[in-house]
Amino acid sequence: MGITSIERITLDELESPVVKLGAKYWQSLRGTKRFPSRRELRPREFASILRNTLLVRVIDGGADFEFRIVGEEQARTYALPFAGKRISEFAPSDVAYCYALKGLFGHVAEHGEPVAVRGTMGNASANVQFAYCESLFLPLGESGGAVDHLLGFSAYVPRAVVNNAK
């Protein structure tokens, strides 16, 4: 599998039970608001999917993004120490992937709306350990204010599973 192919999808098109559960949790917090705040998150309420979770801080309106919480599955899948780091710190080692991720995060931060994607990951990045993913990135911020954090949920199919199925 040499080609990376990511497509945007709607929340209604989500297939992963993990990602769907994350969307349901976020929607329950949001209620009638545009998006919930970071303060409203209660990790114990989505403990079953914490390993698939990201919490990302928006820096300077989206000029950069800092990984605040990185679930075990997220860290293992990318084989990189994300927690406490910014996207800009990884860019030199994986320019294309970081550029794409910054674009997705930037859209959520700028527009205050969820972005869902799914697709395949080619062999361009040695660090990435998955062949297929489905991810959802959700805005968080104070009522009527700007997006200050993103909440993400992802599900992955490891490369080994895909390679063994061939």
3-state secondary structure of 72: helix
Evaluate if residue 6 carries a pLDDT over 60.
yes
At 71, which CATH number? 3.30.450.20
Q: Do strands 64-70 and 115-120 pair parallel, antiparallel, or not at all (unpaired)?
A: unpaired
At 164 the pLDDT is 46
Question: How many domains does the chain divide into?
Answer: 1
- Assigned token pair, 47: 């403990």
Confidence of residue 158 (pLDDT cuts 50, 70, 90): low
Instruction: Provide the domain limits for residue 134.
Output: 5-165
- Assigned token pair, 71: 């679930």
> Of residues 75 and 112, which shows the higher confidence score?
112
The reply to whether the predicted model has a pTM over 0.75 is yes
